[in-house]
Chains A and B, each alone.
Chain A
């Protein structure tokens, strides 16, 4: 075990993956000698050479197109998109190519070895183009897996699982926590399961569900609610696609209430998908409507970020609303 922040944990996972398999490559804008704008790939070019860790030109559709070709060829590409806000030029290569590669060829070809890493989310005074949470766009695309860690331990284990998974995985990293989240991380190799949610606190009155950086706020709200005598079950979804319906439904059947919180705007966010599924699975167990505590249906603001975000106080209020319904 060692104390690591999330960047160290990610860097450590990448190093393990590159050391175990010569066909593993890391590339993207400024990823080479510079080690990425957040330093997630720091030292990898020195260790594994310029052929396996390198800068690409500034062209996101090219980065993912190139990665798709590498994966189809049998290499194991780990492509970085510098900010999730800039993933959209690559949308076609992700949703029309990577996601459908195996299906459309009848399994003659696949890009299962592809992993896309990208920092997402707000809280860094990044305004509308350095703060977005685009997971719902990709959750609407069969063929992809979408994974989001909440802390350094989760980041390392889930990233290693994503790299080794035989399907294209988008790994969104909560950049607000890159240096802010510090914890004990095993120095050795380990994996955490994709597609499994984790119950991080058991409770009996209401289920609180989120993923990524939002987990920290969820926990804060749960602590506030505890002072009021409300017992919250707190769950980290971890995988957006595929998602763990069973764990969430079992929890809601026990507590009778569900609150889902996401950074992204409310309308057609992944919280909406969860709400629809849970009302179907748990209809007769629900004591109150499923609460969604999300960003506003606006671009991500700058000066008024505090007002916009689904912070712990908004979550706390929603918990009380649900309990009193």
Chain B
């Protein structure tokens, strides 16, 4: 039917290839590394108080990452994933949304949750999988989630949240809500089938979802030129018929501006937007790998000079919204708070044995109840082998 879906291109009479270079993709840049803005740049809608909140969140993010990587090295924590060098993408994304908007993340976007006000204790309790963890100690560290803060619990399988975000946003549209869904994923996860499924369905079903790709150059050890050909992830958005923006992902003002613009468009037009944020993962993929095995020191140094937090600090200083004394005292305070919180959370006990079978279904089945009783009897028989739960039920 709908031939109007296709542009009327020129007619040719011999085979004429087209390729990705036919589409030129501009990259939005607003803020320079020295803290000045580009001439004529359109700034995001952001007052001093929002700017301070964004900057303090970035600072918190950096300190938490530093301390938790160190805790993992000390053997206090099993696993961690830092977002060093690309914090602007997650914090800025959340800052460009309204609090009622759903955020569905991949895993390296804890900055968005920090911006929404997830407490330090909540972060710690999740990482130490203790009895106060909202997720009941069931997932590896950094798999946060909060229904109250509209931040969907992280799932390890890559890309699965992409078609889910489309469905979530479709539901928001159907109920006529002033809400959109923002979905984060990496350039590596964009190779998953779920990426295609989610973007295509969002375009066809007209869902107000913002797909936010953090193109940080690496999927664990695999560089993006071994992940895909073509002009990045943005070119795919064009192919799916989705409004697309490519931005400097280390430019907090560009991230916020792009997200604000995408939000208004998605809501007004009931249609998806794709944002590709160009950045670099300065740290390791996780505490389980060492990037010196797959990339050069020179490459890392080049990106260290693009530090998004330093860039925002320079801007804040230029605005006279921040000074070096505040900087020093903020970082000192954050380091102390995080260290103190680690000491508290690591001592909190593990979840109750009954949580083995809860939440599998809304109500545990008769079979699950019977299996739990068997485990309890066994734990009682060999209590020394099960110190987390023995004597606690």
Contacts and interface: CB of A to CB of B under 8 A. Distances in A.
B283 interface: no
Given A65-B162, A73-B102, A57 B200 contact: yes
A62 B163 contact: yes
Interface in A21-38: 23, 25
A311 B146 CA distance: 52
Contacts of B181: 69
B164 A108 contact: no
B143 A65 contact: no
Interface of A: 23, 25, 51-52, 54, 56-57, 59, 61-62, 64-75, 77, 89, 92-93, 96-97, 100, 102-110, 112, 142-143, 145, 166-167, 195, 242, 245-246
A66 B365 contact: no
A65 B196 CA distance: 12
B359 A69 contact: no
Contacts of A23: 171, 174-175
Interface string B140-168: 00010111000011010100101111111
B134 A61 contact: no
B24 interface: no
Contacts of B360: 102-103, 142-143
A72 B102 CA distance: 11
Contacts of B160: 65, 92-93, 96-97
Contacts of A245: 366-367
Given A23-B174, A69-B167, A108 B145 contact: yes
B135 A108 contact: yes
Contacts of B225: none
Contacts of A96: 155, 157, 160
Contacts of B104: 69
Contacts of A51: 174
B205 interface: yes
Given A61-B197, A242-B367, 12 more contacts: A56-B204, A56-B205, A57-B201, A65-B162, A66-B170, A92-B160, A102-B359, A104-B153, A105-B134, A107-B359, A195-B365, A242-B365
Contacts of B17: none
A66 B164 contact: yes
25 contacts: A25-B174, A52-B174, A56-B205, A62-B163, A65-B160, A65-B198, A66-B167, A66-B198, A66-B205, A69-B163, A71-B167, A72-B168, A73-B172, A75-B170, A93-B163, A93-B194, A97-B160, A102-B359, A103-B360, A104-B138, A105-B359, A106-B133, A108-B146, A142-B360, A143-B361
B139 interface: yes
Nearest to B204: A57
Given A69-B168, A69-B169, A70-B167, A167 B145 contact: no
B226 interface: no
Nearest to A69: B167
Given A69-B171, A104-B139, A107-B359, A62 B194 contact: yes
Interface centre among B160, B168, B361, B362 (most CB of A within 10 A): B361
